[in-house]
Structure 1
């Protein structure tokens, strides 16, 4: 009689990489939004390499693991960071004009809508991801409102909310790493009973 052994994919969980890349870049950008320092090459570098490329890599690995949600989220937000850096830098390089009118408001609103729709997927995953996506939806809404009204107080408030959002993503990523390393729940993420 032949025994069939289950096949293990042998691929590490890419979610902690994607979550930490998103979280750390989000925290740094929102410290700027809160008014603590100017936008600089530090934020641009994080946006390209960690928030951008690392999340795209995590998303591609999620595809290999047959995780459509992870593929869609990490790849999309990786390209969000790359597109945001492009919005800031391409006009300065003289390659195009800066967004005019409510173009940035539309950009932020579309990302907010996308995030809100992905939030419904987190209802089957865990409470930590629900918080990340819920707070990110609020962040995009606040940034869009702040940009539409040109109200710096709203943008500064969004910065503080964004720091919380980014920190929650870092927590969720590190929790997954530590829980796997120790083989038990070290940092809870609140699994959902499906």
Structure 2
């Protein structure tokens, strides 16, 4: 199948990332506890949908999209597993200081992905730049135990997730109307 004739998988990946990020960060901001709703979004929309979008980007020859969507899809699956494994008796809980390192590694990965956004859409650059900041804030929260930093990270994460949803919907509307409806 010709790549020009295939659908753009990026909106699916962006919405999976964005909506799941918003919901987790409403929790991080202190509005509600982790629940089945966040975990289900992490497995199915943040996880599986992004992996599907990544595989579709692979088929289109987009190394950046493939790497981003599949990596962050698996981020969501690993995060849910880290949360659920102790509750299921599969592993011991991860201490907060160790989670800080997990988040830092993802922040470093995201920093390099941010470098890959040079020359791309300003909204895409914002998404990756704000995600670097989010991972660093969450790592600092876990290393220090600061609820305030966790709350700040939560609000910053809501903005990051909303920017991904914006770009996803801008691309959907562009495809549906055959013109740019929202700037991106």
Q: Smaller-chain TM-score range?
A: over 0.9
- Deviation of 1:186 (Å): 0.7
Find 1:122's aligned residue among 114, 117, 123: 117
- Which aligned segments of 4 or more residues in structure 1 are displaced greater than 6 angstroms? none
Unaligned stretches of 5+ residues in structure 2? none
Given that 2:18 and 2:163 are in contact with CA atoms closer than 8 Å, whether structure 1 keeps it comes out as yes
Q: Do the aligned partners of residues 27 and 78 (structure 1) sit closer, same or farther apart at CA in structure 2, a change above 3 Å counting?
A: same
Given that 2:141 and 2:150 are in contact with CA atoms closer than 8 Å, whether structure 1 keeps it comes out as yes
Find 2:161's aligned residue among 163, 166, 185: 166
Unaligned stretches of 5+ residues in structure 1? 1-6, 190-194
Q: For the residues of structure 1 that align with 2:96 and 2:61, how far apart are their CA atoms?
A: 41
- Deviation of 1:9 (Å): 4.1
Q: How does the TM-score come out when normalised to structure 1?
A: 0.92
Please give the secondary structure, in 2, of the residue aligned with 1:124.
coil
Please give the secondary structure, in 2, of the residue aligned with 1:102.
helix
1:107 equivalent in alignment to 2:88: no
1:63 equivalent in alignment to 2:58: yes
For 1:86-165, list aligned pairs within 5 A.
Answer: 86-100=81-95, 102-165=97-160
Deviations along 1:13-48, one digit per CA (max 9) or x if unpaired, are: 000000000000000000000000010000000000
Deviations along 1:102-132, one digit per CA (max 9) or x if unpaired, are: 2101100000000010001111321110000
Q: How does the TM-score come out when normalised to structure 2?
A: 0.97
* More helix as a share of residues: 2
Find 1:39's aligned residue among 15, 31, 34: 34
Q: For the residues of structure 2 that align with 1:172 and 1:184, how far apart are their CA atoms?
A: 14
Q: For the residues of structure 1 that align with 2:64 and 2:133, how far apart are their CA atoms?
A: 20
CA RMSD of aligned residues (A): 1.0
